Amino acid sequence: MASSPAMAAKNSFSFKLNPEQQDILDDILRNGNYRPIRVEHTRIAVEIPKCKISLYKSGTCLVQGKGAEEFVTFTLEPLVLMGASLGYEDVLNPEATAPHMGVDESGKGDFFGPIVIASAYIDPKLAEAMREMDVKDSKQITSDKKALRIGSELRNLLGNRHSVVKIGPAAYNRLYMKMRSVNTLLAWAHARAIENLLETIPDCPRAISDQFGSKQQVERALMKKGQKIELVQRHKAESDLAVAAASIIAREIFLRSLKQQEEFHKVTMPKGASAGVREWAVELVKKKGPAILLETAKCHFKTTDQVLKAAGSSRAALGPEGQAVSKAYTYKKKKKKAE
C-alpha cells in the first residue's frame, strides 16, 4: 500500500522492534537479495540500491536513503510491523496534527546558562512542513549545530505562532528565592509561554507539555486568556510534533544564550552539571570571584556548594542573595522530608 501523496517523501525512518519483530527482520535480511555491510553495534546491516537497513542490538531498526520509504511501505510494514502507518499518521491519529500548541523547556539540568521555555503552534499544514524538516525531540538531536539550524528554521516557519520565555541566571536565582521550587518556577514560565502565544492565536484549543509537576500549578498561573485552554500533561510528550518543535526552539535559544554569556564573560561555560562542569566553575570562581555564579549559574544546584568549597570559599561570599537562594533550597528539602 503506497503512502499518501500528500505526505512528503522522507529519507530516514527509525522503528523500535520487539524481539519477535527483530527475528523476522533478521531472517528477511539474511535470506533476501540484500548486500551485507558493516555497521557498528548492529545485529545485521544490509544495503540495496538507494537504501540501507540497520538492525541495532538495542532493537532499533534504522532505514535510510532515497528508497527508504519504499522499503518501509512494501517490506517492513506488511512483513515485520504487521500494519500500515507510514503516510497515514493523520488518519490513524487526527489529533496529532489538529490545531494545538506544544510547550517544552531547555536548560533545566544545566548549571550554567538560562532556562528557556518555548511554545509552538501546529496545524495540518505546519505539521507537513515540520515532518519535511525532520522535527523530533531535541534530546534526540545530539549535534548543537543541527539544533541551532533546525531551531532557526522552525522560528522562521512559525513566525508569531511561537513564543519564547528566557530566564537568565540572575533572574532565575531571584525567582527561585521567591518561589522555592523549580516546578513552581516552571509552571509560571509555562503559563507565560502559553499566554504569550494566545495573544496571536487566541482560539488555540489545547496546550500539551511534559509532566513535570502538578497540572494545577500551571492552571493557577494562567491569566485570563489562558484559563479556557485545555492543558494536557503526559509522559514522553516530546512524541507530539508541537512539543518536539518547542523543545528544539528552546534548545536553540538556550545554546545561543549560553554562547552570548561565554562571550560576555570571556570564559568557557560547558553544558550540563557533570564533574567536568564543576571543574570549569571552580576555575571561573578563582578567576572572577564567587559572585560571578549569581550572574552565570543556577545557584540552588548543590554544584554551587561543591564549587565554592573547592575554590576555598562558601555561600557567605555570594552575599545576602546567594545565601537566600541556599535557604530556599534548604527549606524545600526540609518540607519534602516532612511530607
pLDDT in tens, 193-223: 999 999 999 999 999 988 776 677 787 777 6
Same domain, 187 and 320: no
Q: Are residues 235 and 315 in the same domain?
A: no
Domain end point (choices 259, 277, 300): 259
Residue 3, domain member (yes or no): no
Q: What is the pLDDT of residue 331?
A: 44
- Which regions in the chain score pLDDT beneath 50? 1-8, 91-92, 331, 334, 338-339
Nearest residue to 189 (alpha-carbon basis) of 213, 154, 159, 157: 213
Same domain, 247 and 305: no
Question: How confident is the model at residue 92, as a pLDDT?
Answer: 45
The count of C-alpha atoms lying within 13 angstroms of the C-alpha of 177, restricted to the half-sphere facing its C-beta, is 16
Residue 248 confidence (pLDDT):
94
What per-residue confidence (pLDDT) applies to 322? 64
Question: Same domain, yes or no, for 99 and 218?
Answer: yes
In a domain, 274, yes or no: yes
Domain that holds residue 18: 12-88
Q: Is the domain of 173 the same as that of 216?
A: yes
Cα separation of 243 and 269, whole Å?
27
Q: Are residues 123 and 187 in the same domain?
A: yes
Domain CATH number, residue 25: 3.30.310.10
Q: State whether 73 and 155 are in the same domain.
A: no
pLDDT at 318: 81
Cell of 145: 549545530
Global confidence as pTM:
0.71
CA-CA distance, 95 to 240, in Å (whole number)? 10
The torsion angle over the Cα atoms of residues 97, 250, 271 and 312, rounded to 10 degrees, is -140
- Evaluate whether residue 128 is within a structural domain: yes
C-beta separation of 175 from 185 below 8 A:
yes
Could you tell me if 200 and 144 lie in one domain?
Answer: yes
* CA–CA dist 157, 137 (Å, integer): 17
**Quick check: is 7 in a domain?**
no
Q: Mark whether 218 and 133 lie in a shared domain.
A: yes
| Number of domains within the chain | 3
- Domain assignment present for 1: no
Task: Output the pLDDT for position 253.
Answer: 97
End-to-end CA distance of the chain: 56
In a domain, 2, yes or no: no
Residue ending a domain, choose from 223, 241, 259 = 259
Q: Say what the pLDDT of residue 321 is.
A: 67
User: Is 6 a domain residue?
Assistant: no
Domain boundary among 233, 259, 285: 259
Whether residues 295 and 244 fall in one domain: no
Cα separation, 315 vs 327, in Å, equals 10
Q: Tell me, what's the pLDDT at 10?
A: 67
- 219 with 293, same domain? no
- Residue 8 pLDDT: 44
Same domain, 75 and 102: no
Three cell numbers, residue 187: 509552571
Is the residue at 245 inside a domain?
yes
Write the CATH number for 139: 3.30.420.10
What's at 270, amino acid-wise?
A: P
Instruction: Provide the grid cell at 332.
Output: 524545600
